[in-house]
Structure 1
Amino acid sequence: MSNPLKPSGYDLIHNPRLNHGSAFTQAEREKHHLEGLLPPGVSSLELQVARTHAELSHLDNDLQKYLLLSDLQARNETLFYAVLMSDPATFMPVVYTPTVGEACQKFNHVFRATRGLYIPISARGRVNELLANWPEKDVRFIVVTDGERILGLGDLGVGGMGIPIGKLALYTACAGVPPQHCLPVMLDVGTNNATLVDDPLYLGLRQDRVRGDDYHAFVNEFVQAVQAAYPKCCIQWEDFANFNAVPLLARFKDKTCTYNDDIQGTAAVALAGIYAALRISKQKLTDQRFLFLGGGSAATGIAELISQAMAIEGMDINTARKRNNLFDVNGLLVSSRTDLADFQKVFAIDHQPVSSFSDAIEALKPTGIIGVSTVPKLFNQRVIEAMSAINERPIIFPYSNPTSRSECTAEEAYRWSKGKAIFASGSPFAPVELEGTTFVPGQGNNVYIFPAMGMAVFATEATRVTDEMFIVAAKAVAEQVSDESLEKGLIYPPQSKIYEASMHVAASVAEYIFDHNLARIEKPQNLIEHMKAAAYSPSYTEL
């Protein structure tokens, strides 16, 4: 007899979490009133995956593939994750960066099935009511954006919803966080993008962005509503403008389980790349000096985490911060500047003003440069040659996304450095052939961090996410890079093994959570087995 609490018939095949599509067995079709609603042939999940691969192979571009996969997620969630997990290295760039950037830009023109929650500021005072409309009552992860600083593309309004959707898909595909516990959220406070407001297809509020007290009261209401509705929920802040991202994280990080992936996740993946790079250069972290192109929340987040890691290795924290120097549109961040935000001031140094990035390299002699400017081509030939002149193995990390915003390409970094560069970028680049040597550029993708952090938090029911957890994660990523990979210049684990890498990182972070009394549950006897049991696996269960 059918379970009266579960849909059957037409409703069942239109429920993405329960739908098996052509994989429903003959017995299930009879039991759940599906006969006649599907072609008579029965497919296995493996055959469905193969069919989807074939369908994707005939599409001309990645945006079309993104849309096909989005439709699949809305139709058959199990098959969607089975496809992603069958070849993560191929599908991560399709469902997330760089393709998600184009999808967000075109969001209003390609909108299909809705996913997640849209909470407009016009609903202020009723946020709890909107949260109550979500059918799942045990939400453990919310990725939330207000759409103001989407990747390096700027204010995309409600189009920014593609980022939380994509990130949460990777929580599941890369680390096994069960999708039913994940909720993407868009806080729509308006947009200052006039092109969007003038577009008749725009789906968000047609008003200027709300600022100041009203904005912060709205966000406060959202956080309070989440805590009341989902007491075990972790909130990940995503793609907020710097002037909101930094104070929001500071306000909530000691009060609830929360983190900002743009600040802390980016910092951890950069630190992981540095740890691996030092295995190549045979140097110590405390001997490094880094110069950042960009002075926003990503730059200061990376600089602070590196500084904390240096402090763990014995350096005074203030001394460490002075070894992480920032350069923005107005030049080197020096103490005499009057335009610095509070979160930038700890990294300002006593130095004469420098207005040229290459001049700053020659003056400060950094061992590595890290680009988080979202302005392409600023790591030009002069910059790369200057780094190569003062370092035997210069660290060159153009981390800006998407690919069109990268400070340089892999080919440029290797060619201009004559193969000396230890390179990683935010978006993927193909291997580079140079004078008979093949270099495999690493992608400093946050995907090495945030899904694993999610699984660690999920498996432990952690009460907080701390900066130290990101240092633990960075070390766990770096220690998985093989000597063979390092010889090719690859400083991150292969993305084809991202699930295994994520589970290793998650286990390391979970150990920290238990050891520092941040878990809501008792530590299991076998942590790895506990995490495996908690992890999602895409398979059809009998209904």
Structure 2
Amino acid sequence: MWRVVRSAPSSVRECRRRLSTAIPGPCIVHKRGTDILHDPWFNKDTGFPYTERDRLGLRGLLPPRVISFEQQYERFMESYRSLENNTHGQSIKSVSLAKWRILNRLHDRNETLYYRVLIDNIKDFAPIIYTPTVGLVCQNYSGLFRRPRGMYFSAKDKGEMMSMIYNWPSQQVDMIVLTDGSRILGLGDLGVQGIGIPIGKLDMYVAAAGINPQRVLPVMLDIGTNNQKLLEDPLYLGIRQPRLEGEEYLSIVDEFMEAVHARWPKAVVQFEDFQMKWAFETLERYRHKFCMFNDDIQGTAGVALAGLLGAVRAQGRPITDFPNQKIVVVGAGSAGIGVLKMAVQAVSRMTGSAVDPQFFLIDKEGLITKERTCIDPAAAPFAKPRGEIEKFGLHEGSSLIEVVKGVKPHVLLGLSGVGGVFNQEVLKAMRASDSLKPAIFAMSNPTANAECTSVEAFDYAGENIVFASGSPFDDVDLGNGKTGHVNQANNMYLFPGIGLGSLVAGARHITDGMLQAAAECLASYMTDDEIQRGILYPSINCIRDITSEVGAAVVRAAVAEEVAEGHDIVGPRELSHMSKEETIQYVKENMWYPVYSPLVHEK
């Protein structure tokens, strides 16, 4: 929290000087006594010094010893390690939920300490508060629910959302993650239980992008569920009706977006885990009106594109050779279509023309061609003409194994949500790839829905592959001192930087150019040596550094495309005069970091 008296800056240098001399100041609170202790944002537990205990009416309400922030941190970590030891040998499901519970209890009690723990242990805790454990949490959310977090707008609130939005206590919100629960990861329709996804995503925004947790808002848009099991579950917390469709559905989302924009016109809204038809519909409906993006379409596409560009480098060729890649994409949902759209845009940028790349799209009916009579409009642009596939010995509806054997792709990319679809036969067929180092991307979440495991990929496709997955897998010991590296192609590498960069730029919209810049920045982050060893993505331990660079690339693209309006004291003119290094530093300086601020009571 910062308290700085500011006036309009006269130059970029002056902006830099004032930002670098910002002094952390006290936080004014309007609560006293037990109300402070029950508020996770202000609560410091035993960390309140005696001066604060006196002025906030806390003396006698806490044990007399004052424990430092560092001591509290170590105490929690000791409890966590003890939990790990005590649950050794139990099922993965029970252990994962136990870890989530202990973190969630800290989140409910002391947010500052929670985020410090999360930031410092991001590699270990991201799989607990985010994928894959978040899927398990969503499946069991009604039974796990203890206290509300975020906001719930339902079909029964139609006509009331403009007033409801003012029930949220924060005066300023910068980042909103919204879901309707219709397609949670690869688990399908989980209705109101999908709220776990926005909560987990925003925890990653705080940890990776330094978004102030007081200025984030997880939102569940409950328009019913078609999951009969949930409708019959006495513990289910959502409205008990089938999902709204058509204009009824859109009118609810319209009303919510208008309400958000009315109160917080600069907020960035991320759509998350909407079923395919509504994912594309809402993206096209709002992307030119609000500062929003869909992470399943655009975030997944960006991370995949970064991996695909890295795969070209790993195969010993320059990135400019990407237009010649033969890529088979399995899964024609929002993620698969999103990847293909961004890949086609990348090819167009590299060639300067409307080249038809060798990308092959497969859904549950097989290879999608122009001969298909009933084709989804989103997939239609990627349907192959008969003449182009006949030279590979293929036809409409060719199976996955037929396509792999016929095309001999450089890359096999899965976003199908079907666990094990890259079976032994398919993986062995990749040995005949036209690349000496074929790439296999099994990107579906959660882990049970991955197209194959890392061990299966290296066992059947051979040691000389590049492997990436959406869920975490361990590296594979190949013997003779060799390691098969696992790249977790997770959206956490991109969406925090896209959101933070858009916010810092004060972007009116999030453009394709901004998203391309983010993906290309991530692709160029790795060194040639790392790429040659099959490492396409950086360690999650450097997520804040990655996010600052991605965010800076987004800012510079927003300025170049003239959609940046500036943020706080820095306007678009000042942003345009910053060098790349200055932009990265500016993005870093806009990151929140968890420390206890002095509290001052004001009535």
TM-score interval w.r.t. the shorter chain? over 0.9
Kept in 1: contact 2:179–2:272 (CA 8 A): yes
Indicate the residue corresponding to 1:37 in structure 2: 61
Instruction: Name whichever of 259-268 and 175-184 sits farther off.
Output: 175-184
> 1:356 aligned to 389, 395, 399, which one?
399
For residues 349-383 of structure 1, give each alpha carbon's deviation from its aligned partner in whole angstroms, at most 9, with x where no partner exists: 11321331010112233211111111011111211
Kept in 2: contact 1:71–1:113 (CA 8 A): no
Indicate the residue corresponding to 2:312 in structure 1: 278
Tell me by how many angstroms 1:93 deviates. Answer: 0.5
Q: Which amino acid aligns with 1:327?
A: I
Indicate the residue corresponding to 1:343 in structure 2: 378
Instruction: Name whichever of 195-204 and 132-141 sits farther off.
Output: 132-141
Q: In the aligned structure 2, how far is the partner of 1:178 from the partner of 1:517?
A: 26
Q: In the aligned structure 2, how far is the partner of 1:43 from the partner of 1:317?
A: 64
Q: Which amino acid aligns with 1:411?
A: V
Where does structure 1 lack aligned partners over 5 or more consecutive residues? none
For residues 431-465 of structure 1, give each alpha carbon's deviation from its aligned partner in whole angstroms, at most 9, with x where no partner exists: 10113211220100000001111111121221111
Q: In the aligned structure 2, how far is the partner of 1:486 from the partner of 1:5?
A: 50
Tell me by how many angstroms 1:430 deviates. Answer: 0.5
Kept in 1: contact 2:551–2:584 (CA 8 A): no
Kept in 2: contact 1:423–1:441 (CA 8 A): yes
1:80-95 pair list within 5 angstroms: 80-95=114-129
For residues 181-218 of structure 1, give each alpha carbon's deviation from its aligned partner in whole angstroms, at most 9, with x where no partner exists: 21110000111111111111110001111111100111
Alignment CA distance shift 1:41-1:485 (3 Å): farther
Kept in 1: contact 2:170–2:214 (CA 8 A): yes
Indicate the residue corresponding to 1:165 in structure 2: 199
Indicate the residue corresponding to 2:461 in structure 1: 417
For residues 219-260 of structure 1, give each alpha carbon's deviation from its aligned partner in whole angstroms, at most 9, with x where no partner exists: 111111111111101111100000111111011111111100
Q: Which amino acid aligns with 2:412?
A: I
Kept in 1: contact 2:422–2:452 (CA 8 A): yes
Tell me by how many angstroms 1:484 deviates. Answer: 4.3
> 1:13 aligned to 27, 37, 44, which one?
37
Q: In the aligned structure 2, how far is the partner of 1:507 from the partner of 1:9?
A: 42
Point out the structure with max Rg over C-alpha.
Answer: 2
Aligned partner of residue 124 in structure 2, secondary structure: helix
Aligned partner of residue 382 in structure 2, secondary structure: coil
Q: In the aligned structure 1, how far is the partner of 2:177 from the partner of 2:28?
A: 33
For residues 458-512 of structure 1, give each alpha carbon's deviation from its aligned partner in whole angstroms, at most 9, with x where no partner exists: 2122111112212111121122223443344221010111111111111111111
Tell me by how many angstroms 1:315 deviates. Answer: 5.4
> 1:332 aligned to 367, 371, 381, which one?
367
> 2:51 aligned to 9, 27, 35, which one?
27
For residues 269-300 of structure 1, give each alpha carbon's deviation from its aligned partner in whole angstroms, at most 9, with x where no partner exists: 00111122222112321110211111111101
> 1:406 aligned to 444, 450, 453, which one?
450
Q: In the aligned structure 2, how far is the partner of 1:343 from the partner of 1:232?
A: 30
Q: In the aligned structure 2, how far is the partner of 1:3 from the partner of 1:324?
A: 54
Q: Does 1:533 align with 2:585?
A: no
> 1:47 aligned to 71, 96, 110, which one?
71
> 1:57 aligned to 81, 86, 95, which one?
81
Aligned partner of residue 473 in structure 2, secondary structure: coil
Kept in 2: contact 1:371–1:399 (CA 8 A): yes
Indicate the residue corresponding to 1:396 in structure 2: 440
Alignment CA distance shift 1:3-1:153 (3 Å): closer
Aligned partner of residue 397 in structure 2, secondary structure: coil
Q: In the aligned structure 1, how far is the partner of 2:27 from the partner of 2:297?
A: 46
Q: Which amino acid aligns with 2:530?
A: S
Kept in 2: contact 1:286–1:315 (CA 8 A): no
1:84-163 pair list within 5 angstroms: 84-163=118-197
Indicate the residue corresponding to 1:428 in structure 2: 472
Q: Which amino acid aligns with 1:423?
A: F
Tell me by how many angstroms 1:126 deviates. Answer: 0.7
Q: Does 1:316 align with 2:353?
A: yes
1:68-87 pair list within 5 angstroms: 68-87=102-121
Q: Which amino acid aligns with 2:398?
A: S
Kept in 1: contact 2:210–2:593 (CA 8 A): yes
Q: Which amino acid aligns with 2:359?
A: N
Q: In the aligned structure 2, how far is the partner of 1:332 from the partner of 1:220?
A: 36
For residues 319-342 of structure 1, give each alpha carbon's deviation from its aligned partner in whole angstroms, at most 9, with x where no partner exists: 13xx22210111111001122111
Aligned partner of residue 313 in structure 1, secondary structure: helix
Q: In the aligned structure 2, how far is the partner of 1:297 from the partner of 1:476?
A: 23
Kept in 1: contact 2:347–2:355 (CA 8 A): no
Kept in 2: contact 1:168–1:184 (CA 8 A): yes
Tell me by how many angstroms 1:531 deviates. Answer: 2.1
Aligned partner of residue 218 in structure 2, secondary structure: strand
Q: Does 1:299 align with 2:336?
A: yes
Indicate the residue corresponding to 1:520 in structure 2: 565
Kept in 1: contact 2:222–2:238 (CA 8 A): yes
Q: In the aligned structure 1, how far is the partner of 2:29 from the partner of 2:66?
A: 25
Q: In the aligned structure 2, how far is the partner of 1:520 from the partner of 1:74?
A: 36
Q: In the aligned structure 2, how far is the partner of 1:486 from the partner of 1:449?
A: 19
Kept in 2: contact 1:170–1:447 (CA 8 A): yes
Q: Does 1:471 align with 2:505?
A: no
For residues 66-97 of structure 1, give each alpha carbon's deviation from its aligned partner in whole angstroms, at most 9, with x where no partner exists: 12212222221111110001111111111000
Indicate the residue corresponding to 2:22 in structure 1: none
Q: Does 1:254 align with 2:293?
A: no
> 1:201 aligned to 235, 258, 277, which one?
235
Q: In the aligned structure 2, how far is the partner of 1:155 from the partner of 1:354?
A: 28
Tell me by how many angstroms 1:529 deviates. Answer: 3.5
Q: Does 1:440 align with 2:496?
A: no
Kept in 1: contact 2:27–2:597 (CA 8 A): no
> 1:481 aligned to 523, 526, 535, which one?
526
Kept in 1: contact 2:40–2:107 (CA 8 A): yes
Q: In the aligned structure 2, how far is the partner of 1:35 from the partner of 1:175?
A: 36
Indicate the residue corresponding to 2:550 in structure 1: 505
Alignment CA distance shift 1:3-1:184 (3 Å): closer
Q: In the aligned structure 2, how far is the partner of 1:473 from the partner of 1:3?
A: 35
Aligned partner of residue 442 in structure 1, secondary structure: strand
Q: Greater RCO between the two (CA within 8 Å, min separation 6)?
A: 2
Q: Which amino acid aligns with 1:502?
A: T
Aligned partner of residue 290 in structure 1, secondary structure: strand
Instruction: Name whichever of 470-479 and 299-308 sits farther off.
Output: 470-479
Q: In the aligned structure 2, how far is the partner of 1:302 from the partner of 1:468?
A: 15
Indicate the residue corresponding to 2:20 in structure 1: none
What is the TM-score of this pair, normalised by structure 2?
0.87
Indicate the residue corresponding to 1:374 in structure 2: 417
Tell me by how many angstroms 1:5 deviates. Answer: 4.9
Kept in 2: contact 1:71–1:112 (CA 8 A): no
Q: Which amino acid aligns with 2:485?
A: V
Where does structure 2 lack aligned partners over 5 or more consecutive residues? 1-25, 88-94, 387-394
Q: Does 1:387 align with 2:424?
A: no
Q: In the aligned structure 2, how far is the partner of 1:258 from the partner of 1:220?
A: 13
Aligned partner of residue 356 in structure 2, secondary structure: helix
Tell me by how many angstroms 1:141 deviates. Answer: 1.4
Indicate the residue corresponding to 1:365 in structure 2: 408
Kept in 2: contact 1:371–1:407 (CA 8 A): yes
Kept in 1: contact 2:440–2:467 (CA 8 A): yes
Q: In the aligned structure 2, how far is the partner of 1:410 from the partner of 1:5?
A: 51
Q: In the aligned structure 1, how far is the partner of 2:585 from the partner of 2:537?
A: 25
Q: Percent identity?
A: 40
